[in-house]
Amino acid sequence: MTAKKTDRVSTELVEMAALLNKHELLTAHDLGRIKALSSTPPAYTPERVAQIRIKKAKMSQAVFAGLLNVSTSTVQKWESPASGKLPAGAAAKLLQIIEKKGIEALAV
């Protein structure tokens, strides 16, 4: 799906959730969760990725990579300014969740 189409779908999802909340068919808590999940994650610089891994997750690159379901070399590239590779998509969303709520938010 293209970014523009994804933005439109997310916008419509949040609008529908707000309407359901207005008619008391969806709780305010669930509306908040839908808004959070629909928001576009920020850009993650190499320094920011390393800080999340070290300070929030307190994990080695290998363990962190396993948690995010990416290779260790991918995490190494994200943390290297010279690589030019930045996390996107699902990985960026997981980083956003870890950054805001801690690693415990991913524990099931």
The model's pLDDT over 7-34, given as tens digits with 9 standing for 90+, comes to 788 899 999 999 999 999 999 999 998 9
CA distance 30 to 36: 10
Interhelix angle 28-38/3-22, rounded to 10 degrees, is 170
CA distance 78 to 46: 5
Region of 18 on the Ramachandran plot (φ > 0 left; ψ -120 to 50 alpha; else beta):
alpha
pLDDT > 70? residue 75: yes
Please say whether the beta carbons of 14 and 35 come within 8 A: yes
pLDDT > 70? residue 78: yes
Query: What is the tens place of the pLDDT at every residue in 85-99?
Result: 999 989 999 999 999
User: In degrees rounded to 5, what are phi and psi of residue 84?
Assistant: 75, 5
Indicate the pTM of the whole model.
0.73
Q: Which residues of 21-47 are buried (b: 16+ CB within 10 A; e: fewer)?
A: beeeebeeeebeebeeebeebeebebe
